[in-house]
Amino acid sequence: MEFFKIHRDIPFMRHALVFNLVSLVTFLAAIFFLFSRGLHLSVEFTGGTLMEVSYSQPADLTKVREVVSGLGYTDVQVQNFGSARDVLIRLPAQKGVSSAEQSDKLMAALKGADASAEKRRIEYVGPQVGDELAADGLKALAFVVAGIMLYLAIRFEWKFAVAAIIANLHDVIIILGFFAFFQWEFSLPVLAAVLAVLGYSVNESVVIFDRIRENFRRYRKMNTVEIINNAITSTISRTIITHGCTQLMVLSMLLFGGATLHYFALALTIGILFGIYSSVFVAAAIAMWLGIQREDLIKGTVKKETDPSDPNAGAAV
Amino acid sequence: MNRYPVWKYAIILIALLVGGLYALPNVFGEAPAVQVSVAKATLKLDSATMARVEDALKGANITADAVSLDSASVRARFASTDEQLKAKDAIQKALNPDPADPSYVVALNLLSRSPAWLSALRASPMYLGLDLRGGVHFMLQVDMQAALSKRAESLAGDIRTTLREKNVRHSGISRNGQTIEIRFKDSATAESARRIIQDQFQELTTVETADGTDVKMVASIQPVAARKIQEQALKQNITTLHNRINELGVAEPVIQQQGLDRIVVQLPGVQDTAKAKDILGRTATLEIRMVDDGAEARAAEQGTAAVPFGSERYLERSGAPVIVKKQVILTGDNLTDAQPGFDQQTQEPAVHLTLDAKGARIFRDVTRESIGKRMAILLFEKGKGEVVTAPVIRSEIGGGRVQISGRMTTVEAADTALLLRAGSLAAPMEIIEERTIGPSLGAENIAKGFNSVTWGFVAVAIFMCIYYMLFGLISSISLAFNLLLLVAVLSMLQATLTLPGMAAMALVLGMAIDANVLINERVREELRSGASPQAAIHAGYDRAWATIIDSNVTTLIAGLALLAFGSGPVRGFAVVHCLGILTSMFSGVFFSRGVVNLWYGRQKKLKNVSIGTVWRPDSTNQATTN
């Protein structure tokens, strides 16, 4: 079986400007929503108490709300979680009241209203922990960006490093934009998914850059645009198939992973789809605007070709 | 060209064997069990204890699947939870005849069902996190400021004693926050006091200022000493938590330091969170002070006069008021142990206290001066103080061994000892994070994670086999090998597997297939450009290798960042993610090449490789190599 019967190189770079504009618009829209709507942060970041309660019958949310507000809590969210019988209750952090008292009191009240109420899980996070988590998340992001740029700069060239990071940060911002627009809950696992996607979709750019470098060595007569087009064309089947396989796994998580993994899988899905787009249409184009040249990548190769320890020695056909 | 030397196959075979062996315990699952460990440091677990457990089971007519003994516990495995509960009661009754003073902790647990020879190889199943097995997780913040204030308070007391011993006259010592203020009438006395403090209290630095005609000396704890105090406070709190949790009867509690001032407590299988929180959140501290026996105080005790200056009014457990001086003689820091027992002469129930060297010295001095007077042991919980006991001092007590006896029942003695032991928290703590996961949710999470991995894997494998034929099959086998290795490594390291960890497992499998897709696409490309099958395989693997390395390194950078900065669920994800990337490099390239070499490498005149359609744009005839 072969999905990709491509006769000649697809001129991806001909419309590079259009693609970059599309990216820019999506990117700006994502930033707009991030600022206007903000992320719907989970209890882990904001601090507060989260209770998951299960009932034997489909739960009456208004009744649960009544019980909760009867205890004098304001600004409480009550919603279904996963199924109609499971209810998720979010209480904001309260000063002076310990988590133990809060959740025990609430659970007793819920049991009083409906004896079938069963405690599934309780999460309490103090406000100081939330701030730290947000700070740690940003640190992790900075570490990933710096680490990947450094590696790509050493392995390839700074222009590639810049191109890859811009392309992939744009993916990250777009995922966040989705979460802001739909007000999906942004939790710690989602943060993990976002960072994993960052590492993963850089792969994609790396594969294409690798091919660009190889092409510079192989086809001495092609110009840069042709070389990029050829590199993308010859890796497109691998790009689609690899992402398709990863997406199959993520889809399986979306279907079978339940409510806990739902947003995690959703973040990965968006990340994978935009990962393909950005590495095919954005990363290489940015590298092109930055003006990559044959000389950037194969300086000193004349000497290296006689170097027996070079793994690529004699590899060129 | 496509042959592996024997040693490479040997490596693959060893990896397969070891991986299979260590992944195997996960297949057997877990069975309900009862775990017995000692509650007292003086007791030892040996084969005699095991025999007692076996006798107890026989006596109750319960058959255990296996009874085993290791360094810390005796464990008995049962077929059903019903039997497990019955067995727990029987063992409890046999080993702890006096429930008020248990010698052993009898707790419910889950044990691997794997056969003994596997356990002998130290192969055990993956350690499941709380979100998969149910239980409670707490993060406690230790109030370090309080620890420092407390230390300053006790130093102030020490300085007072020392200055009195050396006959240096001061006009008042008081604690102000975390510093100690001492006033002197003239600078000569201040100077001699400074020398004494510098000599005997090296953790303090002093600053003198003139205050009218007086000299005010401010002594503060040095930063290095402060750090040491904080470390000790944290350690002591962890030890205290250990003791308290032992009394809860939890099979495998996790009590760990996190950061500089935090403690994480995980109690798998515990559902009674209220009790757990009650025990953990008990911010009890212990103090020994003298009872004020002045006439005014007596009157205050009757309720007919105000409490005299320098004293405070507390209630005894019975409800009777006691007027106690404010000055603290000893704190829980100086108490190393408290055990219930009997008076050797009168055979009355008693509590035996053991003090550290400093505590013993102070106690001897105090008791020598106040024979016939009463001292009070106070327990402060949540800011409220209570007199645990207020015995009369009968004689000078040296050597640090203190016995409190008289008017006590055995149960009261045991209770008092427990309170005294639990009271030695160095600093108060506050719960800043709490997670409770019900047992049914844990089981559901396991099923969800398992289904995600299984169906994702099946889907990818089917696709690979259809698209790349035999090469796809080999890719799927190496993906399965990757999963096996990952499970084996996780089991070996006993890393905690959580639901995000299972998600990472699914994700890493989806990413690991990338290496094989890269290779297979490269081989096809070589075939397309007219290379011979053997050369195509060779070139395909070689060329794909550089790309695979690059892409794995970038993924690994992201994984390491998560590992370094993540906490809780993110860390569980990151561990599996990083390990999975590493094992995928081995299985996806080294192992799959080995299988391909085994299949095709020996055929000298290879004409076709089964890698699906190799489509050539230049020819109208499609060359299908199957």
Q: Note the pLDDT of residue A305.
A: 41
Contact A147, A113 (CB under 8 A): no
Residue in B closest to A96 by C-alpha: B430
What confidence tier does B620 reach under pLDDT thresholds 50, 70, 90?
very low
Measured CA to CA, the distance from residue A10 to residue A7 in angstroms comes to 9
- State how far the Cα of B14 lies from the Cα of B47, in Å rounded to an integer: 37
Contact indicator for A275, A208 with CB cutoff of 8 Å: no
What are the pLDDT digits (tens) for A17-64?
A: 888 888 889 999 999 999 999 888 888 888 888 888 888 888 888 888
- CA of B267 to nearest chain A CA: how many angstroms apart? 14
**What band does A314 get if pLDDT is binned at 50, 70 and 90?**
very low
State which residue of chain A sits closest to B273, comparing Cα positions: A100
State the pLDDT confidence band at B516, using cuts at 50, 70 and 90: very high
- From the list B438, B562, B615, which residue is nearest A121 (CB)? B438
Q: Domain boundaries in chain A?
A: 12-40+130-304, 48-125
pTM of the complete model: 0.75
Task: Calculate mean pLDDT across residues B159-170.
Answer: 82
The alpha-carbon radius of gyration of chain A (Å, integer) is 25
pLDDT tens string B320-347: 888 888 888 888 777 766 777 888 778 8
Q: How confident is the model at residue B479 (pLDDT cuts 50, 70, 90)?
A: very high
Interface of A with B in 103-162 (CB under 8 A): 103-104, 118-126, 128-129, 133, 136-137, 139-141, 143-144, 147-148, 151-152, 155
pLDDT at B213: 78
Tell me, what amino acid is at B363?
F
Could you tell me the pLDDT band of residue B625, with boundaries at 50, 70 and 90?
Answer: very low
Q: Which residues of A touch B573 (CB under 8 A)?
A: 189, 192, 196
Tell me which fold the domain A48-125 belongs to: Alpha-Beta Plaits (3.30.70)
pLDDT tens digit sequence for B586-609: 998 899 999 999 888 878 777 778
- 3-state SS assignment for residue B594: helix
Instruction: Confirm whether A12-40+130-304 and A48-125 share one CATH topology.
Output: no
Q: How far is A283 from chain B (nearest CA, A)?
A: 15
Q: Which of A190-204, A256-270, B374-388 has the lowest mean pLDDT?
A: B374-388
Of A203, A235, A237, the CB nearest to B555: A203
Of residues B247 and B373, more confidently modeled = B373
User: What pLDDT does A179 receive?
Assistant: 94
CATH 1.20.1640.10 given to domain A12-40+130-304: yes
Who wins on pLDDT, B430 or A304? B430
Give pLDDT, residue B621: 46
Note the pLDDT of residue B578: 93
Q: Are the Cβ atoms of B612 and A1 closer than 8 angstroms?
A: yes
Average pLDDT, integer, range A239-255: 91
The token pair that represents B365 in the structure block: 């001095």
Q: What percent of chain A has pLDDT over 70?
A: 91
Q: What percent of chain B has pLDDT over 70?
A: 92
pLDDT at B623 over 50: no
CB half-sphere exposure, A1, CA atoms < 13 A: 13
Which stretches of B104-248 are DSSP H helices? 116-120, 130-133, 144-165, 187-200, 223-248
Sign of the dihedral defined by the CA atoms of residues B454, B459, B464, B466, in that order? positive
* DSSP code at position B259: T
Q: What confidence category does residue A124 fall into, taking pLDDT thresholds of 50, 70 and 90?
A: confident
> Is A120 close to B448, i.e. CB distance below 8 A?
no
**Domains in chain B, start-ordered, CATH in brackets?**
6-23+438-600 (1.20.1640.10), 30-113 (3.30.70.260), 145-226 (3.30.1360.100), 282-431 (3.30.1360.200)
Q: Does A6 touch chain B (CB under 8 A)?
A: yes
Q: In Å, how far is A21's CA from the nearest CA of chain B?
A: 27
For residue B278, the chain A residues in CB contact (below 8 A) are 100
